[in-house]
């Protein structure tokens, strides 16, 4: 069996036993990455806890995606890798490292790992903002809130579909391109 077939088998295995798929209602942070141009979007939820050493670590990560089989497989294995990592350890992970359990991705699928990495980074940045609000003075929390408001951030996270719709062209249409999983 060659590398292409091995990768396809690992992707199919990850799809058959998807891990951490779906929204997390009590998440500490949420991050979204994607492009309305190609239709791939991924949202990741993170929940933190304090470990036995007093460090703030990722307890659980979940995801939801509009993407191909490879994007789903990478997100599934990546969410498993994140458990027990600090925000900095998770931030230091590359897309290649997040996809490592699947093996090397072909060049045309590297964007799937980058999509997962982007959503993770956005969630970690959002989590850092929330942590700042919890630990700093009230005046700092108000300043962060005002900064977010001036930047147009809403208090509630938009849904994945709302994020996709925000990238619509002027005709109000989304171009959907269906591809096989290894194109």
96 within some domain: yes
What's the first-to-final CA gap in the chain, in angstroms? 19
Cβ neighbors of 148 (< 8 A, separation 6 or more) are: 129
Give me the number of domains the chain comprises: 1
Q: Domain residues for 159? A: 3-166
pLDDT digits 0-9 by tens, 77-113: 999 999 999 999 999 999 999 999 999 999 989 989 9
Report the C-alpha gap between 55 and 86 in whole angstroms.
7
Within a domain: residue 58? yes
* Count of other CB atoms within 10 angstroms of residue 128: 14
CA–CA dist 33, 121 (Å, integer): 9
Query: Please, which residues have CB within 8 angstroms of residue 125's CB and are 6 or more apart in sequence?
Result: 31
Model pLDDT, residue 68? 87
If one compares 67 and 143, the residue with the highest pLDDT of the two is 67
> What is the predicted pLDDT for the residue at 83?
95
Contact 119, 157 (CB under 8 A): no
- Domain of residue 94, CATH code: 3.90.1010.10
Angle of helix 3-16 relative to helix 69-82, nearest 10 degrees?
70
pLDDT in tens, 162-173: 655 565 555 555
What pLDDT is attached to residue 126? 81
pLDDT tens figures, 7-66:
888 888 888 877 898 999 999 999 999 866 567 899 999 999 999 999 999 999 999 988
Q: Which one of the listed residues 8, 10, 36, 38 is annotated catalytic?
A: 38
**What pLDDT sits at residue 158?**
61
pLDDT value of position 153: 43
178 is a domain residue: no
Q: Which is catalytic among the residues 27, 98, 112, 120? A: 112
- Give strand pairing partners of 41: 34, 66
Does 40 reside within a domain?
yes
Residue 3's pLDDT band (cuts 50, 70, 90): low
Is residue 155 in a domain? yes
pLDDT above 70 for 180:
no
In this model, does residue 181 exceed pLDDT 80?
no
User: Is residue 68 annotated as a catalytic residue, yes or no?
Assistant: no
Q: Helices 69-82 and 110-135: crossing angle, nearest 10°?
A: 40
In a domain, 183, yes or no: no
Whether 46 contacts 123, CB under 8 Å: yes
109: Cβ contacts below 8 Å, ≥ 6 apart: 68, 70, 182
Q: Check pLDDT > 70 for residue 145.
A: no
Top pLDDT among 5 and 140 is at: 5
Task: Please tell me which residue, 155 or 97, carries the higher pLDDT value.
Answer: 97
Specify the residue for token string 């942070």.
29
């Amino acid at each position: 069996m060659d590398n292409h077939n091995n990768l396809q088998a690992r992707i199919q295995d990850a799809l058959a036993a998807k891990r951490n798929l779906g929204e997390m209602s009590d998440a500490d942070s949420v991050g979204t990455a994607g492009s309305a141009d190609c239709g791939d979007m991924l949202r990741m939820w993170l929940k933190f806890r304090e470990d036995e050493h007093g460090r703030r670590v990722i307890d659980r990560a979940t995801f939801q995606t509009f993407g191909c089989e490879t994007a789903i497989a990478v997100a599934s294995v990546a969410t498993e890798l994140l458990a027990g990592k600090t925000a900095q350890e998770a931030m230091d992970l590359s897309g290649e490292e997040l996809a490592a359990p699947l093996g090397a991705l072909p060049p045309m699928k590297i964007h799937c790992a980058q999509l997962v990495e982007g959503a993770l980074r956005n969630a970690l940045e959002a989590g850092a903002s929330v942590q700042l609000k919890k630990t700093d003075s009230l005046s700092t929390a108000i300043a962060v809130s005002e900064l977010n408001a001036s930047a147009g951030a809403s208090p509630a996270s938009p849904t994945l579909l709302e994020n996709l719709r925000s990238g619509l062209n002027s005709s109000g249409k989304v171009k959907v391109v269906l591809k096989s999983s290894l194109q």
